[in-house]
Amino acid sequence: MHTRSLLARLTFSRAHLLSVLAVFALLAPFSGLTYAQKHLSKRYPAGKRVRVELKNISGTIIVESWNRDEVKVSATMESPTANFSPRLVDDGLVIDVMGDNRGRGDVGDVNFKIQVPVNSSVDLETKRGDIRVANIRGGLVRAHVSSEGDIELTGISASQVFAQNTIGNIFFDGEFSRGGTYQFQSTKGDISIRIPSDSAFRLVAAAPTKRIELGQFWNSNFKTVGEGQKYGKFVGDVGDGRSSVMVTNFQGSITFIRR
Amino acid sequence: MKCEKCEELVGELLDGTLSGEDTSTLNMHLEQCLDCSDVRNDLQSIVSFCQTQRGQYSAPPNEKALWLRIRNIIESESQALVGSVGQTRPRSKSLWADWMSRSWELSIPQLAASVAAIVLIASLATTVGLRRWEGSVGSVSSSSASPAPGVTGAKHRDRMWRQQQSISYWNQRVETNKARWNQEMRDTFDRNLQVIDQAVTDSLNELNQHPEDEVSEEMLNAALNEKLALLREFSDL
């Protein structure tokens, strides 16, 4: 009796194994799509004012704040050869995709989603790809795209903000801190800056003529500099001008929007 | 009698040429005035010394050196006087003549070093001159090769030349590494370089039309820096 039931179980297991193998055989042609991408997710302890530095090659970077004193790095790597090792340093976390993959050839896109404490500073670089930063109130927000990629900075209240790309739009929605420095530069793309109506800053804005729109922030104290026809430059104070804002665009527009 | 009058007459008194009346008056004063009496005594002792020595004085030590110093002082004062009058031409002429007439004695290593130094200086000057000339007529954009004929300011040319040198260097590095990139990255780079070159050309044309326009100058500078940054950042891929 015992031996018979054992054989029955063995027979069942063999049938089950065969069916599982059949399922694998059916899914085999599609398995390449799922296997090519590599995922990584890791958490790092951090203080309330951490600094996160990321040097990427290609791919989207998303940074947003969360209500924890730790940094969570989630990455999707297009190529299985891509690799990186975040390093904990004194004041934060350094991720150097560029350095960690030197000599490995083409590593494809590496897409990041990083969650940080709200008072963090973020310094982000990529050769290509979009950068989106949301709800950061630390000392520094820097987003640098060497070539093409949109930059979107929303809910930002940092004393230093730098956003620069070659092709792509730049959108800033945040506040200018008293004494802060803000620089936005694009070669071919539109730059939009959405700030509270009571913002106070000193503005230097240079762009093709008739493509600078200060909207409600324009006042008679603004000076128009330049004798040429191609480019125009506005220099002037809004309010007490306690923060410094510099915007440069070679082929696109500059628009200030009241929030 | 006053002391001043006494000092005037004391010489005559010692010579014995003073009148009798004046002699008695003077002697009365000398008996009463101690200072004038001292003057009379000093003068008396000098006259007595001269009378006893009769012109035979002991020579100063190293008399030749003393006369040489005196002569030098006189000559230097006279030369200074001539110089202050403004006669500089004969002096420079004499310097040139002195330079030309000077004989040079050089050893073979010294001679070889001098020749090498002259050759080095000449070649450096030639190289710098050629580079400056090439920079002034060269292109601003390495890929578009657009010249800068209207930009006349030496300051612009000099800065653009320096930027052009940097751009050429980084461009070579990019070209070396470009083969390793995937096609998508190559297309991205070329597309972005083209956009920046367009910005360089636009600002350069604007600056040619309005050479004094500081905004166009700033934009040109910023565009060239942007190009430099793009090349540098892609060179390490």
Q: A90 with A110: CB under 8 angstroms? A: no
- Burial tier of A244 (Cβ tally within 10 Å: 0-12, 13-18, 19+): middle
Residues 6+ apart with CB under 8 A from B3: B29, B33, B35, B36
Q: In this structure, what token pair is assigned to residue A170?
A: 């730049």
Contacts of B223 in chain A (CB under 8 A): 187, 250
What distance in Å separates the CA atoms of residue B116 and residue B104, rounded to the nearest whole number? 18
Q: Is residue B16 assigned to a domain?
A: yes
Residues near A168 by beta carbon (within 8 Å), at least 6 away in sequence: A130, A145, A148, A149, A150, A151, A186, A188, A189
Measured between beta carbons, the chain B residues lying within 8 angstroms of A105 are 180
CA distance, residue A108 to nearest chain B CA (Å): 8
Give the Cα separation of A96 and B229 in Å (integer): 19
Per-residue pLDDT of B45-86, as tens digits, reads 887 777 766 656 556 667 777 777 777 778 777 666 555 544
Domain count, chain B: 2
Neighbours of A58 (CB within 10 A): 23
For chain A, how many structural domains are there in total? 1
Residue A12 domain-assigned (yes or no): no
pTM equals 0.64
ipTM of the complex: 0.81
Q: Determine the residue among B219, B225, B227, B234 to mutate to test chain A binding: the one whose Cβ has the most chain A Cβ atoms within 10 Å.
A: B219
Please report which confidence band the pLDDT of residue A189 belongs to, taking 50, 70 and 90 as the band edges. Answer: very high
Q: For residue B73, is it within any domain?
A: no
Q: For residue A239, give the nearest of A204, A201, A203 by alpha carbon.
A: A201
For the stretch A76-97, pLDDT in tens is 998 888 889 999 998 899 999 9
Beta pairing partners, A205: A234, A247
| Interchain pair B214, A146: CB under 8 A | no
- Are B215 and A233 a contacting pair, CB within 8 Å? yes
Q: Does B198 touch chain A (CB under 8 A)?
A: yes
Q: Look up residue A254 and give its two tokens.
A: 């500059």
Q: What CATH number is attached to the domain comprising A57? A: 2.160.20
The answer to whether residues B139 and B47 belong to one domain is no
Show the domain range for B150: 134-235
Test B226 with A187 for CB contact under 8 angstroms.
yes
The chain A residues in contact with chain B (CB within 8 A) are 57-58, 98, 102, 105-106, 108, 127-128, 146-148, 166-167, 185, 187-188, 206, 225-233, 248, 250-251
Token pair, residue A259, equals: 């929030």
Residue A33 has pLDDT above 50, yes or no: no
pLDDT per residue as tens digits for the range B100-134: 556 566 677 788 888 888 888 877 877 666 665 54
Residue B79 included in any domain: no
By Cβ distance, the residue of B182, B196, B237 closest to A187 is B196
Q: Considering only alpha carbons, which residue of chain A is nearest residue B215?
A: A226
Q: Are A135 and A114 in contact (CB under 8 A)?
A: no
Q: How many CB pairs under 8 A join A and B?
A: 99
Condensed to tens digits (0 to 9), the pLDDT of residues A108-163 reads 999 999 999 999 999 999 999 999 999 999 999 999 999 999 999 999 999 999 99
Answer whether residue A10 is part of any domain. no
Task: Give the CA distances from residue B47 to residues A249, B52, B54, in Å, rounded to whole numbers and listed in that order.
Answer: 105, 9, 11
Minimum mean pLDDT range among A10-14, A32-36, A94-98, B31-35: A32-36
Q: For residue B141, is pLDDT > 50?
A: no
Is A5 a domain residue? no
